[in-house]
Structure 1
Amino acid sequence: MTPEPDDPEPDRAERIMRFIYTLRSRGVTDPRVLRAMEAIDRGAFVRGIFAERAYEDMPLPIACGQTISQPTVVALMSEALEVGDRDKVLEVGTGSGYQAAILSKLARRVYTVERHRRLVKEAREIFDKLGLSNITALAVDGSFGLPEQAPFDRILVTAAAEDPPGPLLQQLRIGGIMVLPVGQSDSVQNLIKVRRLESGFDYEELRPVRFVPLLEGMGQD
């Protein structure tokens, strides 16, 4: 994590230590994911009055009525995705860009799509500032995936659908994994892991979560 200009080095080191300890204590064990979480400064993705809470394990509001997920959920979703360093990953729902930045430390190439153009513009600026050159961020309707770049080794969805969207399932390579929240309301959602097999799809329920809904169409901002 990058220190603030007036952030003494001992305080920065302690903050990183507490951050990683929290992730470990809440079930994150993959060393590659923990290194990625340590390398990417969540503070770069949180603006305004919530900036001082960037290192707390909680979701925070961002522009366009969206949220930046809590670090534990980001880490556990990344871990469940089982990303290899040669994988091509699709993320649906760029939001702040934080999850895509974590994935960029695990994968060969990350495509992230978002229905709000403002969020894509702001995320691109952060990716450029952090030197994350293996991320392509696009303003498109993510409910239809990104067929021109399919198939994908891994797909991660950061908004909840009632069922895994058919277009995304079809864009997943055989042997690939998709992780997404599924639920019919804001209060009842579960994180699902889908593995595409030669004979169909295998579904595994991971944990309760709460995400904004997956919406079709482009946003107005």
Structure 2
Amino acid sequence: MNARLGEKEGFAGLVLRLRAEGINDIDLLTAVEQTPRTQFVPSQYAASAYSSRTIPIECGAFMEGVDLAVRIIDRLKLKSGHRILEVGTGSGFTAAVMARLVERVLTIDRYRTLTTEAQKRFDQLGLRNIIVRHADGSAGLQGDGTFDRILVTNAFPSMPRFYAEQLVSGGSMIAPLLVGEDRCQMARLTKVGSRFETEILFDAPYLPIVPRLSSYL
């Protein structure tokens, strides 16, 4: 099977699974289709690119299964004029999909290797509305204004309110929360005026946030 056919078959299977979950957003599915996932996974895992399994990547990090990645983006309820902050670039797949749906994505990661490789992938796909930054996301991000949506892909012991303060009124943030030694849950926090409303969404296999920039990778 050639790579292009495998990509199409993998995407078709994903669509069937997502529709079974009630995810039918045509714009979102089109954005995923236009973002070849095999370009984001290590070559030895290409056959698993469209599976629900987690995939190891550089620096000891991992990619969430594609079903989970798309489910999270769906829960963000993105709109074309939105500005997005992503904490945890990883392979860059999630940022690339979101960039096809919104005005701008700012994505940060503590590992220079990950940000460098992600930038190469964005350039190859012609995605010019993504800003990639090598930065420590463990204590918030200052000086970049406010965002309509924030996505955090490393787990905190409690909802990181320092990010919530960077939301516009009516904006929302999705982040994994540690609820035990080996369990975390995705939660959505929505800013309503000066208040914040929190909703637990579903379990997710994310690693705890690590402070400070990586010294070597």
99-108 or 14-23, which deviates more: 14-23
Long gaps (5+) in structure 2:
none
Percent of residue pairs bearing the same amino acid type:
32
C-alpha distance after superposition, 1:162-201 (max 9, x if no partner): 1121320111111101011111445221110100011310
Q: For residues 12-161 of structure 1, what are the structure 2 equivalents within 5 Å?
A: 12-161=7-156
C-alpha distance after superposition, 1:131-172 (max 9, x if no partner): 111000100001233322121110000111111213201111
Change in CA separation of 1:13 and 1:43 when aligned onto 2, cut-off 3 Å: closer
Query: Aligned partners of 2:88, 2:111: CA distance in 1, in Å?
Result: 9
Q: TM-score, normalised by structure 1?
A: 0.91
C-alpha distance after superposition, 1:105-141 (max 9, x if no partner): 1110000000000100000000000111100010000
Long gaps (5+) in structure 1:
none
Query: Aligned partners of 1:13, 1:138: CA distance in 2, in Å?
Result: 32
Is residue 215 of structure 2 the alignment partner of residue 202 of structure 1? no
Q: Is the 8 A contact 2:51 2:67 kept in 1?
A: no
Q: How many residues align?
A: 216
Query: Aligned partners of 1:16, 1:77: CA distance in 2, in Å?
Result: 17
C-alpha distance after superposition, 1:76-128 (max 9, x if no partner): 11111111100000000000001101110111000000000010000000000
Is residue 166 of structure 2 the alignment partner of residue 166 of structure 1? no
C-alpha distance after superposition, 1:17-58 (max 9, x if no partner): 222212222342322222211111110001132122212222
Change in CA separation of 1:186 and 1:56 when aligned onto 2, cut-off 3 Å: farther
Q: Which residue of 1 aligns with 2:178?
A: 183
C-alpha distance after superposition, 1:50-80 (max 9, x if no partner): 1222122221000000001111111111111
**AA partner of residue 17 (structure 2):** T
**AA partner of residue 209 (structure 2):** L
Q: TM-score, normalised by structure 2?
A: 0.93
**AA partner of residue 132 (structure 1):** L
RMSD over aligned Cα atoms = 1.7
